[in-house]
Chain A
């Protein structure tokens, strides 16, 4: 029996901690590793009688996110209570949004956005004892510093079709949020957290299969590995004629094991109802115009600008636009020498980043003006590619001025037929046997002659030019 090809359908739910000065519903400063329970007050501890007051700056950040994702901003939205018991939830409910979120719809890259809403983060639980979960622990202690941190929850439509695509899109989202300045968007530290809804269906079908939800993967690598593992698990089930069960899953990145957290039957009834302590959020014209005025250029627009105005390749444009810091550095290089070819500059920025690993270019010893100077030296044939790479190595390690390094180390290109022709002629003369083979049409030995010339010029000659001179002197074309 011919089996229909199965295609994954993936939707993402992203929780973003907003970098406001204070918490979502009280005046406590956000926690950044202070001693436990020092950034708390009656409100975020859920003490009797305490009441929430919505943080206007968090709503502003929510509007910025909505604008950046091309969402529809609700003129009036409401907070709801999501009721369930857990020690990290001091009120017994989370204040979130339900049927009237701040932002609806929208699109980022190729992916449609379902909604964006605001809510509060839970506190942090530390389990003492054998297992990492509360039912295995000898005791659990709660740190409420994180409790009440503003969160934006961004939900995509189920439109992604592979782990790689999900990872790449999430990087675009991260850059967008970072450019907005609304969050630290650090997955390891938990300021960006991602759950994935995953199902499979026959390719081309418009029906959705039974989905599972994979929780809280805390790095890009784990997200891609987790999704891949879950897609394979579902594929194996379906191909074995078994059924996928709707459940919430946990991915262990060390063992790559997927375990069930709870089934559909065990799912909570959150008993949502409108939060009576908070009036509806009404978005005024002045709030909208403030958000619109503060909206910076976003990665998608920047990518377009690089392609259309600076004629960068699609690959370079995306690399620089989706990684905002690198794009800023590239802009500074172009600004330092406006005569530079943008693509050449982009190539040198890529060359530099390749040497830096995780370090940001702007934090390196290579200033944008130094890189611009280096690119100009190459463009004017003052040094060749090999020499330039040597200079870049030294810049990365010690910093400095490219021109001075070139002079110091005698890396100026040996160029022009009048300089190179005698050296080429001497190399041919010194290798009569190879020269004969070249003349008879066997081109293999040409590399040895080029190498000889490079040796004589200490690598400062241009390889292509040397090859051309050899051909010319032997009358080969």
Chain B
């Protein structure tokens, strides 16, 4: 029976509960026990009992939530020591929306500190292991969420994506990850990293789960002034063909150095599959792409340096006592933040400083405008842009920690969409030397329904099997 439950996608489990074939409590306990026995360090907190469940379209299928989201009375530590044991007095809108639709909270998942990282090695609560190979990283920053879903410790998980933090770990763990259009999902209660880039979205076993999850996640929130109403409902995808669809491939970007042969091979195979499904493949250029990464690593740290100023030891979280106010601030932030967070606060503070603002932040914002314009231009000629999600498969723990720039290159393919605020999905396209490779499909703002449809057709044709990882998490 346990194996049967484990084999069910979230949508299938919800259907089984709805038709009486599966008890909700049994499903919850199945995943609760697995999460509690987690050997990947994917969870930072696991529920002891099933919370009150609201009857809704998510059918009682339990939910893992990235620790970046505030959950009332439950530790919400954002992977940081400065928020150790911090329990907020309120719950994030995204989590509340999913709970209201019938997804009870199973646990909180590990992450890079304040979502800054691409390997989950920047967590104050230790690294997360990749269920495909425990000597490797799961990606980041939503590494705990991705590993939990891939290892079958959770049916699905909520993550966040600022520069690739849903898509890249989804890719490295062989699951589906959707980064929404900026503003489609409320950020209220999601601990801010880079406000103009942060978005919340699903990490799931398959595209149908992603659509079911996402349709209950979107919505204008009066508590988030940057949120917008999604134009129309999110549909469950049904497409099996890509007839009439044009996929644009940014040739220079994809042919660049640093992309692994196995990743390129899997990507080429995906394009061939798309052709067989009826799609037309064309080349395109994103001339500003080489600058996008640089612009991102100015804008995101600049906003982060301000967003993280509230962690000052005065009201909540860690405080290191000292003899003066300034010493208390300095010592608290010295003790509470990890090296990568400090690095980005320094970069961001410098970029916003009087006399440097125009040269760094101002110029980076102009690059952002150019990237948006170039993507919009491509979308006048093609339905989607396709790239590998990550230039590499999961790398070894410790392999890149000494080289921040190499780590930053993990986000090469995901960052342009983050800057443009456009939606993108990562789906598994196959294995390279036994490790998952991800395919990224991006469309214009609010094209999630079309993206999910195309991803659904490709998913069926590719026939990726993640079962190998689902037995390895405990």
A43-55 near B? 1/0 per residue, CB < 8 Å: 0011111111110
Known: A91-B310, A273-B357. A49 touches B349 (CB 8 A): no
Known: A47-B88, A273-B352, A279-B226. A90 touches B310 (CB 8 A): yes
| Segment at the B interface, from A80-88, A313-321, A389-397 | A80-88
A277 close to chain B: CB less than 8 A: yes
Query: In the complex, what residue of chain A is closest to B361 when comparing beta carbons?
Result: A273
Query: In the complex, what residue of chain B is closest to A82 when comparing beta carbons?
Result: B306
A336 close to chain B: CB less than 8 A: no
Q: How far is the CB of B329 from chain A (nearest CB, A)?
A: 6
The answer to whether B88 touches A92, judged by C-beta atoms less than 8 angstroms apart, is no
Complex CA–CA separation, A119 to B224 (angstroms): 18
The answer to whether B88 touches A49, judged by C-beta atoms less than 8 angstroms apart, is yes
Name the one of A46, A48, A135 contacting B76, with C-beta atoms under 8 angstroms.
Answer: A48
| Segment at the A interface, from B163-171, B188-196, B268-276, B334-342 | B188-196
Complex CA–CA separation, A45 to B310 (angstroms): 10
Known: A47-B316, A48-B88, A50-B188. A135 touches B325 (CB 8 A): yes
The answer to whether A142 touches B314, judged by C-beta atoms less than 8 angstroms apart, is yes
Which chain B residues numbered 318 to 335 have a C-beta less than 8 Å away from chain A?
Answer: 324-325, 329
Q: How far is the CB of A77 from chain B (nearest CB, A)?
A: 15
The answer to whether B309 touches A49, judged by C-beta atoms less than 8 angstroms apart, is no
A278 close to chain B: CB less than 8 A: yes
Known: A45-B315, A49-B192, A277-B226. A85 touches B309 (CB 8 A): yes
Complex CA–CA separation, A246 to B200 (angstroms): 48
B302 close to chain A: CB less than 8 A: yes
Please indicate the chain A residues that have their CB under 8 angstroms from the CB of B225 in the complex. Answer: 51-54, 277-279
Q: How far is the CB of A430 from chain B (nearest CB, A)?
A: 86
Count of chain A residues near B, Cβ 8 A: 30
B380 close to chain A: CB less than 8 A: no
Name the one of B78, B315, B329, B349 contacting A271, with C-beta atoms under 8 angstroms.
Answer: B349
Name the one of B69, B226, B306, B311 contacting A49, with C-beta atoms under 8 angstroms.
Answer: B69
Inter-chain CB contacts under 8 Å: number: 108
Q: How far is the CB of B267 from chain A (nearest CB, A)?
A: 33
The answer to whether B325 touches A46, judged by C-beta atoms less than 8 angstroms apart, is no
B92 close to chain A: CB less than 8 A: yes
Please indicate the chain A residues that have their CB under 8 angstroms from the CB of B324 in the complex. Answer: 135
B interface: dominant SS? loop
Please indicate the chain A residues that have their CB under 8 angstroms from the CB of B78 in the complex. Answer: 48
The answer to whether B314 touches A87, judged by C-beta atoms less than 8 angstroms apart, is yes
Please indicate the chain A residues that have their CB under 8 angstroms from the CB of B76 in the complex. Answer: 48-49
Count of chain B residues near A, Cβ 8 A: 45
The answer to whether A134 touches B92, judged by C-beta atoms less than 8 angstroms apart, is no
Q: How far is the CB of B69 from chain A (nearest CB, A)?
A: 7
Complex CA–CA separation, A273 to B364 (angstroms): 13
Name the one of A90, A93, A277, A278 contacting B315, with C-beta atoms under 8 angstroms.
Answer: A90
B63-99 near A? 1/0 per residue, CB < 8 Å: 0000001100000101000010010111010000000
Please indicate the chain B residues that have their CB under 8 angstroms from the CB of A279 in the complex. Answer: 225-226
Q: How far is the CB of B319 from chain A (nearest CB, A)?
A: 12
B353 close to chain A: CB less than 8 A: yes
A408 close to chain B: CB less than 8 A: no
Known: A85-B309, A271-B352, A273-B302. A48 touches B223 (CB 8 A): no
A266 close to chain B: CB less than 8 A: no
Complex CA–CA separation, A50 to B90 (angstroms): 10
B186-219 near A? 1/0 per residue, CB < 8 Å: 0111111011100000000000000000000000
Complex CA–CA separation, A450 to B92 (angstroms): 88
* Residue of B89, B188, B353 contacting most chain A CB atoms (<10 Å): B188
A358 close to chain B: CB less than 8 A: no
The answer to whether A85 touches B329, judged by C-beta atoms less than 8 angstroms apart, is yes
A129 close to chain B: CB less than 8 A: no
The answer to whether B354 touches A269, judged by C-beta atoms less than 8 angstroms apart, is yes
Query: In the complex, what residue of chain A is closest to B328 when comparing beta carbons?
Result: A87
Complex CA–CA separation, A277 to B195 (angstroms): 6
Q: How far is the CB of A474 from chain B (nearest CB, A)?
A: 86
Q: How far is the CB of B412 from chain A (nearest CB, A)?
A: 24
Complex CA–CA separation, A41 to B368 (angstroms): 34
B453 close to chain A: CB less than 8 A: no
* Residue of A49, A93, A135 contacting most chain B CB atoms (<10 Å): A49
Complex CA–CA separation, A45 to B316 (angstroms): 10
Known: A83-B309, A87-B325. A48 touches B86 (CB 8 A): yes
The answer to whether A50 touches B189, judged by C-beta atoms less than 8 angstroms apart, is yes
The answer to whether B223 touches A83, judged by C-beta atoms less than 8 angstroms apart, is no
Query: In the complex, what residue of chain A is closest to B189 when comparing beta carbons?
Result: A49
Known: A47-B316, A91-B309, A92-B309. A134 touches B325 (CB 8 A): yes
A253-289 near B? 1/0 per residue, CB < 8 Å: 0000000000000000101110011110000000000
The answer to whether B309 touches A53, judged by C-beta atoms less than 8 angstroms apart, is no
The answer to whether A51 touches B188, judged by C-beta atoms less than 8 angstroms apart, is yes
Known: A48-B70, A51-B223, A52-B225. A92 touches B310 (CB 8 A): yes
A202 close to chain B: CB less than 8 A: no
B303 close to chain A: CB less than 8 A: yes
Query: In the complex, what residue of chain B is closest to A25 when comparing beta carbons?
Result: B225
Q: How far is the CB of A282 from chain B (nearest CB, A)?
A: 12
A354 close to chain B: CB less than 8 A: no
Q: How far is the CB of B115 from chain A (nearest CB, A)?
A: 12
A42 close to chain B: CB less than 8 A: yes
Complex CA–CA separation, A50 to B83 (angstroms): 15
Please indicate the chain B residues that have their CB under 8 angstroms from the CB of A93 in the complex. Answer: 306, 309
Which chain A residues numbered 78 to 112 have a C-beta less than 8 Å away from chain B?
Answer: 81, 83, 85, 87, 90-93
Q: How far is the CB of A327 from chain B (nearest CB, A)?
A: 41
The answer to whether A53 touches B223, judged by C-beta atoms less than 8 angstroms apart, is yes
Query: In the complex, what residue of chain B is closest to A134 when comparing beta carbons?
Result: B325
Question: Chain B: residues with CB nearer than 8 A to chain A?
Answer: 69-70, 76, 78, 83, 86, 88-90, 92, 187-192, 194-196, 222-226, 302-303, 305-306, 308-312, 314-316, 324-325, 329, 349, 352-354, 357, 361
Question: Chain A: residues with CB nearer than 8 A to chain B?
Answer: 42, 45-54, 81, 83, 85, 87, 90-93, 134-135, 142, 269, 271-273, 276-279
23 contacts between A and B (CB under 8 A): A42-B90, A46-B315, A47-B90, A47-B315, A48-B78, A48-B311, A49-B88, A53-B223, A81-B306, A83-B305, A83-B306, A87-B325, A90-B314, A91-B310, A92-B308, A269-B354, A271-B306, A271-B353, A271-B357, A273-B357, A276-B196, A277-B224, A278-B225
Closest 7 CB pairs of A and B: A92-B309, A276-B195, A271-B352, A276-B196, A49-B189, A48-B191, A49-B70
